[in-house]
């Protein structure tokens, strides 16, 4: 019997609104999610996952019956369990070495474990069913006994993701890994009458993608990949490395700059640079979006502009949640972190490193606050935007209409989770 894969979200790190509706391993951190990258890297599909308790119902819906959720494992087989914060970009050889080590090499102990030297957090574990179940049910503890432990990483070196800006730090490497593994036809300028191309890196375009005249592809700095059903409208410029996901639409005059990921079913325009859009979001009109991470079902109104650089050129400081302290991102270029279902009105200006919570609506002429609590309706006050509670029923009606445009409906579990986020933000 071969090994099975278990991916666990240990609940450590802080990812702000991006973690409200998803486990960390569900986050798109390059062209694909962490889970997909782990599965591809190790050559195994996940047989089990562990998530925060409030995500259990929605996760069970998303993965289906083939994958156990928050359950201990049974039987006599061997398991490789991987922390969902491991981005499967760094320390790949170490995890593969652990995976390929015979159990008898662990000196009779029930598991072999890779541990981050700096934090003491478990990165990966090869274990019997009994040892893995004990680890999961005990809350992912440091293996003090009963395990063969190997430390990796330096005392001041980060081995796993801990904050959203770490996703952007690692995104260029993750994106190149992902693009190299995508199996789509390689085309040349001469193969497509509507493309003007230059640069030495590959251009991969799905056969069902639609490229209209005067599309410019610049593969000087990295590959450009356009996935199934995507539509690239006239006078669009794509600079690699970049990824345009399935059924995404780029309207005319869009400028996609390097290290950008447009997730599935997004519709975008204007200038976009160094951004990850998870999927199903709109930024159709003119305006700049840079060095940002967007959740799903976001709609940025016409001429919404974000800042990704302070006038002082200093590091951008970020507050990820209301109860947390402001942190130094150690990044000079850092745009907003935008949660799911955020909507901005026409001409909205988004502050450098702003965090916009799940379900927020912005309709005003002032800059957005640096931190916007979830499910707030933000409008102009005398000295800046002020918050009022977003009407729940109005939110639901708007979300349903938006999702219907993509032929998607809410499940009861999804609505229950959103309602919990709403109640916590407004009535606790």
CA distance 29 to 18: 11
Can you give the length of the chain in residues? 428
Tell me how far apart the alpha carbons of residues 423 and 416 are, in angstroms, rounded to a whole number.
Answer: 11
Specify whether the CB–CB gap between 31 and 243 falls below 8 A.
yes
Nearest CA to 111 out of 126, 95, 98 is that of 126
- In the predicted structure, residue 1 carries a pLDDT above the cut 80: no
What is the separation, in whole angstroms, between the first and last Cα of the chain? 49
Distance CA 123, CA 34 (A): 14
pLDDT exceeds cutoff 70 at 173 = yes
Give the pLDDT of residue 98.
Answer: 95
% of the chain at pLDDT higher than 70: 98
Domains 4-162 and 295-428 share a fold: no
Provide the pairing of β-strand 267-268 with 288-290. unpaired
CA distance 204 to 113: 39
Percent of the chain scored above 90 by pLDDT? 88
295-428: CATH topology is: UDP N-Acetylglucosamine Acyltransferase; domain 1 (2.160.10)
Integer Cα distance of 259 and 146 in angstroms:
43
DSSP string across 249-288:
EE-TT-EE-SSEEE-TT-EE-SEEES-EEEES-EE-SS-E
CATH of 4-162, one of 2.40.50, 3.90.550, 3.90.1570, 3.30.70: 3.90.550
What does pLDDT average to over the chain? 95
Q: What angle do CA 298, 304, 310 make, to 5 degrees?
A: 110
Token code pair at residue 359: 């379900």
Cβ burial of 104 (10 Å; 0-12, 13-18, 19+) is exposed
Q: Decide if pLDDT at 110 tops 70.
A: no
Domain positions in the chain are 4-162, 295-428
pLDDT band of residue 146 (cuts 50, 70, 90) is low
Please say if the pLDDT value at position 109 is more than 70.
no
pLDDT in tens, 213-272: 999 999 999 999 999 999 999 999 999 999 999 999 999 999 999 999 999 999 999 999
């Amino acid at each position: 019997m071969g090994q099975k894969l278990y991916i666990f979200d240990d609940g450590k790190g802080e990812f702000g609104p991006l973690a409200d509706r998803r486990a960390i391993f569900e986050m798109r951190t390059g062209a694909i999610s962490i889970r997909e990258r782990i599965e591809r890297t190790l050559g195994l599909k996940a047989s089990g996952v562990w998530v925060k308790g409030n995500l259990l119902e929605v996760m069970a819906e998303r993965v289906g019956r083939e994958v156990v959720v928050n359950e201990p494992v049974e039987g006599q087989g061997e398991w490789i369990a991987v922390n969902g914060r491991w981005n499967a970009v760094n320390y790949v050889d170490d995890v593969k070495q652990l995976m390929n080590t015979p159990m008898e090499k662990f000196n009779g102990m029930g598991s072999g474990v890779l541990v981050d030297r700096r934090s003491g957090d478990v990165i990966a574990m090869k274990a019997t069913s009994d040892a893995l179940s004990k680890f999961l049910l005990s809350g992912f503890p440091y293996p003090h006994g009963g395990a063969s432990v190997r430390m990796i990483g330096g005392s001041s070196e980060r081995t796993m993701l801990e904050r959203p800006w770490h996703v952007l730090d690692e995104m260029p490497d993750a994106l190149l890994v992902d693009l190299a593994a995508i199996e789509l036809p390689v085309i040349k300028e001469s193969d497509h009458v509507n493309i003007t191309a230059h640069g030495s890196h590959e251009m991969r375009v799905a056969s069902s993608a639609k490229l209209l005249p005067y599309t410019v592809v610049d593969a000087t700095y990295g590959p450009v990949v356009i996935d199934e059903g995507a539509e690239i409208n006239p006078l669009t410029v794509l600079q690699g490395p970049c990824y345009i996901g399935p059924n995404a639409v780029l309207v005319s005059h869009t400028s996609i700059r390097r290290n950008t990921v447009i997730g599935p079913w997004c519709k975008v325009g204007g200038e976009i640079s160094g951004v990850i859009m998870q999927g199903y979001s709109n930024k159709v009109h003119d305006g700049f979006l840079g060095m940002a991470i967007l959740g799903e079902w976001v709609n940025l109104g016409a001429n919404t502009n974000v800042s990704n650089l302070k006038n002082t050129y200093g590091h951008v400081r970020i507050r990820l949640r209301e109860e947390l302290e402001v942190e130094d991102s150690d990044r000079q270029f850092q745009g907003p972190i935008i949660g799911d279902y955020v909507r901005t009105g026409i001409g909205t200006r988004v502050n450098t490193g702003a965090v916009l919570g799940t379900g927020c609506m912005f309709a005003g002429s002032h800059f957005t606050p640096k931190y916007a609590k979830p499910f707030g309706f933000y409008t102009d006050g005398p000295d800046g935007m002020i918050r009022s509670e977003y009407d729940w029923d109005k939110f639901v009606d708007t979300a349903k209409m938006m999702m219907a445009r993509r032929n998607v409906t809410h499940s009861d579990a999804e609505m229950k989770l959103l309602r919990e986020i709403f109640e916590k933000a407004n009535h606790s």
